[in-house]
């Protein structure tokens, strides 16, 4: 993790002979600017969406190339598809984030849409993560807000995990939980530097995002990093018919989940406001009725014990909660 790290990518990949790149149109331009000649039309796949069918198309393309390494360049979509390809073909994965929007940068998990329920799979972590902090510092503010929102979600996800331990006897990893909580405290302390996209802010946010990926690796599960707040985001994706701005939805979900847990939801709202992140459904372009329905169906989308198992969520209750916390 350093300024100019992208220029070192060719030498870092020198041990491989048939490298396959998952890119977007913008991330291809970034890569060409910092490591010219590395990507061509023959050795790359442009991912238009993060769905299971697109990921399977990428697997086929990598297989035709005979790839011995796959590199995901960009945001969560490209990196998740790269991890999916690596797992299916049994080849190393290199993660090259160009935006700090999610904690999948170094995580062993893949999350894809396009199915009736959220598709999540443990595939193992990337072999290498290359972070050019100069490139990330130039990313639009919304990506920093999204990454911040994803980390803020640990406030409720770890608590949900503890509830599952208390109520069902589910294993609770104290060390992993402590690390996840630490990332929350870390970004909160430096939230104004993150919002200003200073060098310190970039480093703090990336350290938190990578750490949460490592925490999931320790547990072989997204359990420490994904609770009721993520279920709300998954429900919004389902109702929208595509994956929305993940970390921004998670931030919104964390306000609601914290209220349901009987905790300080107003503090979470203030933290999000401090970085300019949306705190209402309207700000994210989510209709009121869709936001209400997201709370109603969220508990049905995954077999994971959360605060929703203690609360019988009805449409009337969902609307009341969302109005109380001023999300609608």
- Write down all domains in the chain, each with its CATH number in brackets: 5-137 (3.40.50.1970), 141-324 (1.20.1090.10)
CB 216 within 8 A of CB 118: no
Query: Cα–Cα distance between 160 and 104 in angstroms, integer?
Result: 20
What is the token pair recorded at 314? Answer: 């009805």
CB 225 within 8 A of CB 212: yes
Q: What is the pLDDT of residue 48?
A: 81
Task: Determine the 3-state secondary structure of 117 from DSSP.
Answer: coil
CB 207 within 8 A of CB 172: no
CB 243 within 8 A of CB 50: yes
Q: What is the pLDDT of residue 122?
A: 87
What is the token pair recorded at 221? Answer: 């599960």
Query: Cα–Cα distance between 72 and 35 in angstroms, integer?
Result: 14
Q: Which residues pair with 128 in a beta bridge?
A: 94
How many other C-beta atoms are found inside a 10 Å radius of the C-beta of residue 316?
A: 10
Q: What is the pLDDT of residue 319?
A: 98
Query: Cα–Cα distance between 245 and 1 in angstroms, integer?
Result: 25
Q: Using the 8-state DSSP alphabet, how is residue 71 labeled?
A: E
What is the token pair recorded at 53? Answer: 């069918």
pLDDT in tens, the chain (328 residues): 788 899 899 999 999 999 999 998 888 889 888 888 888 878 999 988 878 889 999 999 999 999 999 999 998 889 999 999 999 999 999 999 999 998 989 999 888 877 667 678 889 899 999 999 999 999 999 999 999 999 999 999 999 999 999 999 999 999 999 999 999 999 999 999 999 999 999 999 999 999 999 999 999 999 999 999 999 999 999 898 877 789 999 999 999 999 999 999 999 999 999 999 999 999 999 999 999 999 999 999 888 999 999 999 999 999 999 999 999 9
Query: Cα–Cα distance between 78 and 189 in angstroms, integer?
Result: 30
Identify the burial level of 296 via C-beta atoms within 10 angstroms of its C-beta, where 0-12 means exposed, 13-18 middle and 19 or more buried: middle
Closest to 295 measured CA to CA, from 255, 242, 246: 255
Q: What is the pLDDT of residue 315?
A: 97
Q: What is the pLDDT of residue 118?
A: 67
Query: Cα–Cα distance between 313 and 293 in angstroms, integer?
Result: 10
Tell how many helices (H) and how many strands (E) occur in the chain: 15, 7
**Close Cβ partners of 74 (under 8 Å, ≥ 6 residues apart):** 22, 23, 24, 26, 27, 96, 97, 98, 99
Query: Cα–Cα distance between 72 and 50 in angstroms, integer?
Result: 12
Query: Cα–Cα distance between 197 and 185 in angstroms, integer?
Result: 18
Q: Using the 8-state DSSP alphabet, how is residue 220 labeled?
A: T
């Amino acid at each position: 993790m350093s300024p100019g790290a992208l220029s070192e990518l060719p030498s870092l990949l020198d041990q491989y002979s048939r490298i396959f790149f998952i890119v977007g149109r913008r991330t291809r331009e970034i890569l060409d600017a910092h490591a010219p000649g590395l990507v061509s039309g023959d050795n790359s796949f442009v991912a238009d969406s993060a769905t299971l069918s697109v990921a399977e198309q990428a697997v086929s393309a990598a297989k035709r190339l005979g790839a011995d390494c796959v590199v995901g360049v960009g945001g969560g979509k490209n990196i998740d598809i790269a991890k999916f390809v690596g797992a299916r073909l049994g080849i190393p994965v290199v993660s090259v984030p160009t935006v700090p929007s999610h904690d999948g940068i170094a995580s062993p998990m893949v999350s894809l849409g396009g199915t009736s329920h959220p598709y999540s799979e443990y595939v193992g972590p990337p072999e290498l993560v290359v972070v050019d902090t100069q490139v990330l510092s130039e990313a639009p503010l919304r990506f920093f807000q999204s990454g911040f929102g994803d980390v803020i979600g640990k406030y409720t996800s770890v608590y949900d995990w503890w509830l599952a331990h208390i109520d069902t006897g589910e294993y609770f990893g104290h060390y992993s939980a402590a690390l996840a909580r630490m990332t929350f405290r870390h970004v909160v302390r430096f939230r104004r530097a993150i919002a200003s996209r200073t060098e310190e802010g970039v480093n703090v946010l990336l350290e938190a995002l990578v750490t949460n990926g490592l925490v999931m690796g320790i547990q072989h599960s997204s359990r420490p990093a994904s609770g009721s707040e993520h279920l709300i985001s998954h429900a919004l994706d389902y109702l929208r018919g595509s994956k929305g701005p993940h970390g921004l939805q998670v931030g919104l979900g964390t306000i609601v989940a914290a209220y349901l847990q009987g905790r300080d939801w107003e503090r979470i709202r203030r933290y999000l406001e401090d970085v300019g992140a949306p705190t209402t459904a309207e700000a994210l372009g989510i209709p009121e009725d869709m936001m209400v329905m997201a709370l109603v169906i969220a508990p049905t989308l995954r077999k994971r014990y959360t605060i929703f198992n203690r609360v019988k969520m009805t449409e009337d209750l969902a609307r009341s909660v969302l109005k109380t916390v001023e999300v609608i």
